Chain A
């Protein structure tokens, strides 16, 4: 069955209606001097019941903080989320496209798109974005996390700029702050408590510590800022679906656990 026969493809539908302008590789000098907004550290960690996906809230342009409450973890459907690092403009559009694409498929074909089909769609969209990425202003590096009911487990997938898809077993982190914490996560997983055996509380605490660590060494990553009441964004993906971890929970964790050193 090809798209031409069933008309299942939402990307093709947009093209047909002239509503999916394909980015073209233009004159590279056109982008000189243009600094684009960037979203930074995101990470996804498998825990006992599924996956926790988190991101700091900072969006930067060069050394300017553009926004301190950016949402980098976005719900795609009732089963999956995408966390984005890179250009928010393109990332939001890709996520929106993906969301509509899955909905369109489910409603027109009367069945859910398979996990493989969903991953492939994201891959295609990243390839579409390649000309922008090559110009250095629109690269998107996403993490896709979902709960696989067939395998009764949470799964994490990550992509490179060209759209190659990889599955990561226990954790994944991308964005400018990721290099600061990748080793620490590996160490923890290998020689300390395995991440996938942690309960939600333990996993959440580890994630917040990691984001604070990234913020310490990477200026583009925003940490917890009590003065402005800015908290990282954390979403849980498990058998019950997708939900956000409330800011009040994060706040009390920061107050009681992460700042213990002050009292000691």
Chain B
């Protein structure tokens, strides 16, 4: 198969289709900045999707749980080896993505006799002082992109710009939002991104449709949210929000 270039391209195309098909129903992950750092939000039927990688680094992924675990472990290993051999301040998201996870995912995707990672990854980095937060998304083929202020990762590629537009459209400076306001904004953007899946494919649903959709969605899945909070006194700035912190948000939309 490999001696025939056409078949190799075809094989790659096939696995791209396969990956897209496997991921298309995944619940999106939404990221945005707020006054104390940055927020990640998604929904899940059970397994955890938001994780700590290093003091100022967070990891989120959609896809096959076993592949997510493999990638998460790889990123954590790289970060801690870097921190041990050099220093904590040398662990940077840029290097982790460009030289670590990007090439790793790409090589698995290109080796057509091996299974690719069935996962898309979103990593976030808190800037402890200046508020220059940054995000990277890594696709299942290893291609990556950096984002500032807002980011979305979804199973359906078309949903990403919908979520980003929604995050940017709401009024109020993202860097001055309280956590509560940021949670609300992120959940609404999440709903806009996930909604076309549930409801045909129309791009601009009205508020009632969104509310209705959220109410249904939250009856089966729970909201998961985590922050990288620069005001935390510990070296590690990652914190998974507790059920009690999320409950007011859930009640507002789930209605019970």
Contacts and interface: CB of A to CB of B under 8 A. Distances in A.
B234 A96 contact: no
Interface string A92-118: 000011001001100110100000000
A66 interface: no
A17 interface: yes
A103 B55 CA distance: 9
A167 B92 CA distance: 39
Interface string B72-110: 110011001101110000000000000000000000000
Interface residues of A, number: 15
The interface centre, meaning the residue of A17, A19, A104 with most chain B CB atoms within 10 A of its CB, is A104
Interface stretch (A7-15, A35-43, A176-184): A7-15
B52 to A, nearest CB: 5
A20 to B, nearest CB: 9
Contact of B80 (A10, A78, A110): A10
Contacts of B52: 107
B84 A97 contact: yes
Contacts of A110: 48, 51
A13 B234 contact: no
B84 A100 contact: yes
B53 interface: yes
B66 to A, nearest CB: 13
Contacts of B83: 100, 103
Contacts of A19: 81, 84-85
B84 A107 contact: no
A100 B80 contact: yes
Interface string B218-256: 000000000000000010100000000000000000000
A110 to B, nearest CB: 7
Contacts of B53: 107
A250 B52 CA distance: 38
Contacts of B51: 107, 110
Interface string A71-106: 000000010000000000000000011001001100
Interface in B35-90: 48, 51-54, 72-73, 76-77, 80-81, 83-85
A103 B53 CA distance: 10
A108 B73 CA distance: 6
A7 B81 contact: no
Interface of B: 48, 51-54, 72-73, 76-77, 80-81, 83-85, 234, 236
Sorted nearest first, the 7 A-B pairs with minimum C-beta distance are A104-B80, A100-B84, A108-B76, A107-B76, A107-B52, A100-B80, A108-B73
A104 B51 CA distance: 13
Nearest to A7: B73
Contact of B81 (A14, A78, A107, A108): A14
Contact of A104 (B48, B72, B76): B76
Nearest to B52: A107
Contacts of A13: 77, 80-81
Nearest to B83: A100
A252 B53 CA distance: 43
B97 to A, nearest CB: 18
B234 A78 contact: yes
A22 B83 CA distance: 19
A96 B48 CA distance: 30
A78 B77 CA distance: 21
Given A19-B85, A78-B234, A110-B48, A103 B73 contact: no
A107 B56 CA distance: 12
13 contacts: A7-B77, A13-B81, A14-B84, A19-B81, A19-B85, A96-B84, A97-B84, A104-B76, A104-B80, A108-B72, A108-B73, A108-B77, A110-B48
The interface centre, meaning the residue of B54, B77, B84 with most chain A CB atoms within 10 A of its CB, is B84
Given A107-B53, A108-B73, 14 more contacts: A7-B73, A7-B77, A10-B80, A13-B81, A14-B81, A19-B81, A19-B84, A103-B236, A104-B77, A107-B51, A107-B54, A108-B72, A110-B48, A110-B51
B74 to A, nearest CB: 10
A188 B197 CA distance: 74
Interface in A1-54: 7, 10, 13-14, 17, 19
Nearest to A16: B77
Contacts of A103: 80, 83, 236
A255 to B, nearest CB: 31
Nearest to A20: B84
A17 B48 CA distance: 29
Contacts of B85: 19
Contacts of B72: 108
